[in-house]
Amino acid sequence: MNLDEKLATLKYNKDNESHLSVDEDVCIRCKEKPCTFICPANVYEWNEEKCIMTIRYENCLECGACKIACEKNNITWRYPNGGYGVKYKNG
Amino acid sequence: MENNKVEVIIVGAGPAGASAAITLARAGKKVLLADRADNAGDKNVFGGTIYAKQTAEIYPNFWETAPVERAVTEQKIFMLTDCDSVQFGYKYASKASYKAFTVKRSNWDRWCVEQAQKEGAYFAPKTLVKELLIENGKVVGVQTEFEKFYSDIVIIADGVNSLLAKQIGLRNEIKDKDVSLSVKEVIEIPKENLQDRFNIDDEDGCACKILGGPLKDIMALGFMCTNKNSIALGYSVSIDELKKHNIKPYELLEELKEHPTIASYIKGGKTIEYSSHLIPEGGYNCIPKVYDNRVLVAGDAAMFVNNIHFEGTNLAMLSGKLAAETAIEALNLSDCSASVLCRYYKKLENSILIKDLRTHRNTIDVIRKNIHTLTSLYPELACDFFDLLTSADEIPKRAKYRKFLSKFIKSRGITASIPFVFLAMEKCFKK
């Protein structure tokens, strides 16, 4: 079962604005970029050529792992607005 | 609610928040419980079991009406090698003494909040508290997306990431070694198959902990428990380990699902939900300051998790209750300053919460140092032992014992092996 199939089991109420952001000038200097592999929903993807971080915030599971893993303390992390984001039926 | 003012605002309707709300409401205090989700529990995930005794202190005889899945009557430990496993368990027959129940958090948390509402607590869902309101250096209430609410005391129960405790400097960012990421799947299995596989009756449940296998040599622990018609299977792993080993959490979960022992339990099942959550695992050494003028912190926000005994929701409920009892005393004295609210920490110290966390203040460091032994060597030796015991072939038994012993001594060192060596010596080397 791949990640897309896992995420497809979930219900989300997508917010119009992202609750996650990074400063890409800082990401450029980050060698490991742990956010790009430790996120359980693979929200972060780094484009090496364009030096752009794509943030698929709509897939976020709101766990908070990315901000703790970020060595540069470069992830601005807040909760989605009330009623938005992931909605677990089982938990 | 007059002028958006209550006596106590509680932020976060998880086990800590709901327990604080019901305790305050029962004492006749005006209390507002705010949560960012549509329904309480929508954002919450855990390992699968709640503990009966401590839960019943807040919700007496809860099993009669609460949406529990199964009463846990067996607890097992799985020690996995790459392909094999040794399993052992503790099965208790008496249902009269409930120890634990499996629950689904979305149902459970909602039920707890409903009980608090019945006692008179206001519940505000879909309400994101953006920050604490500070006037003259004191917390006077909360700012939500749309309005301000005022109170004499705010109880912060906003979970492991507690942005509010950070806002007022009670907490720093958690270090990556002090927090674990948990990923989990809920896998639907026909009830009859599930009961056959776990050898349990209709209402009974099984809770398992998993060591080794795909989780070997890292600070990780697997878990598997039975709901009515589904299995919750997952693991938690320290964030520094994820970083160090370049682990993608969902790929490691797949490896766990594919281990032959685990696969036999979930065979034919359908994943109905994938989820993820953080667990604060720093223990005693990471407890932040949990009170200040007009503020108390409870549950995961205060890092109250005993990871050695897999306790979290019970400590959340207990801390929520003790925070509420402290708030009641302060309100009755008309003094909500830190000089009264410090009683909260005294209550925690006199309870099992701080006592147990203190007992295990260094245990996790010891485990960390011995993680290879615990998750790789012991499962291997256990499987080797059963293999030795049960396989009949042309190799003489004495040669097998020698091989096993020499592996044990080489891996554990001679000092740790001495008692075992003496016991085994007679059979192995005496002609």
Q: Indicate the DSSP class of residue B48.
A: S
Q: Indicate the DSSP class of residue B66.
A: S
CATH, residue B257 = 3.30.9.90
**Does residue A49 fall inside a structural domain?**
yes
Q: How far is B110 from chain A (nearest CA, A)?
A: 11
**Does residue A32 fall inside a structural domain?**
yes
**Does residue B320 fall inside a structural domain?**
yes
In this complex, do A40 and B128 lie within 8 Å of one another by their Cβ atoms?
no
A–B CB contacts, 8 A cutoff, strictly below: 133
Question: Taking a C-beta distance cutoff of 8 angstroms, is the pair B20, B36 a contact?
Answer: no
Average pLDDT over residues B366-383: 95
In this complex, do A91 and B163 lie within 8 Å of one another by their Cβ atoms?
no
Question: Taking a C-beta distance cutoff of 8 angstroms, is the pair B138, B280 a contact?
Answer: no
Average pLDDT over residues B321-337: 98
pLDDT at B429 over 80: no
Claim to verify: residue B117 and residue B169 sit in the same structural domain: yes
A48: three-class secondary structure by DSSP: coil
Q: How far is B45 from chain A (nearest CA, A)?
A: 4
Contacts of B239 in chain A (CB under 8 A): 38, 65, 68-69
Mutation for A interface: B39, B111, B128, B253, most A CBs within 10 A: B128
**Does residue A56 fall inside a structural domain?**
yes
> Residue B3's pLDDT is what?
81
The H or E element containing residue B314 is helix B313-333
> What's the ipTM?
0.97
> Residue A20's pLDDT is what?
98
Separation of alpha carbons A65 and A44, rounded Å: 12
What range does the domain containing B398 cover? 368-429
**Does residue B99 fall inside a structural domain?**
no
What pLDDT, in 10s, does the model give residues B85-100? 999 999 987 666 789 9
Residues 6+ apart with CB under 8 A from B345: B290, B291, B354
What pLDDT, in 10s, does the model give residues B114-171? 999 999 999 999 999 999 999 999 999 999 999 999 999 999 999 999 999 999 999 9
Instruction: Domain count for chain A, please give it.
Output: 1
What pLDDT, in 10s, does the model give residues B275-300? 999 999 999 999 999 999 999 999 99
Pairing of strands B291-292, B138-144: unpaired
In this complex, do A83 and B181 lie within 8 Å of one another by their Cβ atoms?
no
Judged by a CB distance cut-off of 8 A, whether residue A69 touches chain B is: yes
What pLDDT, in 10s, does the model give residues B53-97? 999 999 999 999 999 999 999 999 999 999 999 999 999 876 667
What range does the domain containing A63 cover? 18-80
Residue that wins the pLDDT comparison between B408 and B44: B44
pLDDT at B430 over 60: no
Claim to verify: residue B168 and residue B182 sit in the same structural domain: no
**Does residue B138 fall inside a structural domain?**
yes
pLDDT at B427 over 70: no
Separation of alpha carbons B407 and B77, rounded Å: 23
Claim to verify: residue B145 and residue B256 sit in the same structural domain: no
> Residue B419's pLDDT is what?
66
What pLDDT, in 10s, does the model give residues A27-62? 999 999 999 999 999 999 999 999 999 999 999 999
**Does residue B356 fall inside a structural domain?**
yes
Vertex B361 angle, CA B411 and B100, to 5°: 90
> Which residue, B280, B299, B314, sits at the end of a domain?
B280
Q: How far is A70 from chain B (nearest CA, A)?
A: 9
Beta bridge partners of B266: none
Question: Taking a C-beta distance cutoff of 8 angstroms, is the pair B207, B253 a contact?
Answer: no
Claim to verify: residue B374 and residue B420 sit in the same structural domain: yes
In this complex, do B273 and A87 lie within 8 Å of one another by their Cβ atoms?
no
The helix-helix angle for B378-390 and B397-412 (nearest 10°) equals: 170
> Residue B158's pLDDT is what?
98
B400: three-class secondary structure by DSSP: helix
